[in-house]
């Protein structure tokens, strides 16, 4: 019997650009490292509240730094991040509750489409995300109608609570389940350490196999 693949859980919120970086890297490496990648749509606001943390973009000096940092990371990791002009408004007013409930509904109803729909949401085309990912208009409309159901609300809360229990204080968080042990890694810049834990080779944010598909 072939050994079961190691399991990685990625807790993420589309409000977090660093979550997008971690998401793309793990999606690129999941087959190379022979891991089972479990995507976990999570509400970052819930984690911030539970941990007493604050979004770095709310601190002027950090916000100024993040803009340049993300531009460099986007180039280095080949992820098309563009800072929205209304980013602070999105954080303070709109938040990501509806988006993450939508992804939770996708995960419950069409789990195989979660990766594509998540990516499209990061691409800032939220109202057309599901259709661009290959989902029919009827399917997308049905999922939007379900984001207020107790099942979806409870699932998102349970996932967020699970991330908090692992010790999350922000996102992204990658939880590696290896040889009966659990390792929690915060951020998109711990992938080399993750490779070390897995006993695998780190080939940069864009491994050859992924670069060939770009």
pLDDT digits (tens, 9 = 90+) for 151-200: 999 999 999 999 999 999 999 999 999 999 999 999 999 999 999 999 99
Predicted confidence (pLDDT) at residue 136 exceeds the cutoff of 70:
yes
Domain coordinates in residue numbering, the chain: 6-198
Mean pLDDT of all residues in the chain?
87
How big is the chain, counted in residues? Answer: 214
The answer to whether the beta carbons of residues 70 and 81 sit under 8 Å apart is yes
Q: Is 19 a catalytic residue?
A: no
Q: What is the pTM of this model?
A: 0.88
Cβ within 8 Å of residue 32, ≥6 positions away:
200, 203, 207, 209
Q: Domain 6-198 is in which class?
A: alpha beta
How confident is the model over 4-52, as pLDDT tens digits?
A: 568 999 999 998 889 999 999 999 999 999 999 999 999 999 999 999 9
Predicted confidence (pLDDT) at residue 128 exceeds the cutoff of 50:
no
Q: Which residue has the higher pLDDT, 125 or 58?
A: 58
How many CB atoms within 10 Å of residue 196? 12
> Which of 16, 19, 96, 118 is the catalytic position?
16
């Amino acid at each position: 019997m072939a050994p079961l693949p190691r399991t990685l859980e990625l807790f993420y919120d589309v409000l977090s650009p660093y979550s997008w970086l971690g998401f793309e890297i793990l999606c690129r490496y999941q087959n190379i490292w022979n891991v089972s990648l479990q995507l976990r749509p999570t509400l970052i606001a819930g984690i911030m509240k539970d941990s007493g943390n604050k979004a770095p973009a709310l601190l002027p000096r950090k916000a100024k730094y993040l803009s340049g940092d993300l531009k460099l990371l986007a180039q280095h990791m080949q992820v098309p991040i563009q800072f929205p002009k209304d980013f602070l408004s999105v954080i303070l007013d709109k938040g990501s509750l509806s988006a993450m409930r939508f992804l939770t509904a996708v995960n419950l109803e069409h789990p195989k489409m979660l990766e594509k729909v998540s990516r499209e949401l990061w691409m800032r085309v939220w109202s057309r995300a599901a259709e661009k990912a290959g989902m029919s208009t009827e399917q997308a409309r049905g999922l939007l109608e379900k984001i207020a159901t107790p099942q979806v609300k409870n699932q998102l809360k349970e996932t967020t609570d699970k991330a908090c229990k692992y010790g999350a204080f922000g996102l992204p968080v990658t939880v590696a389940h290896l040889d009966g042990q659990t390792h929690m890694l915060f951020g998109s810049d711990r992938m080399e350490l993750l490779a070390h834990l897995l006993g695998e080779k780190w080939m940069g944010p864009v491994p050859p196999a992924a670069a060939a598909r770009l």
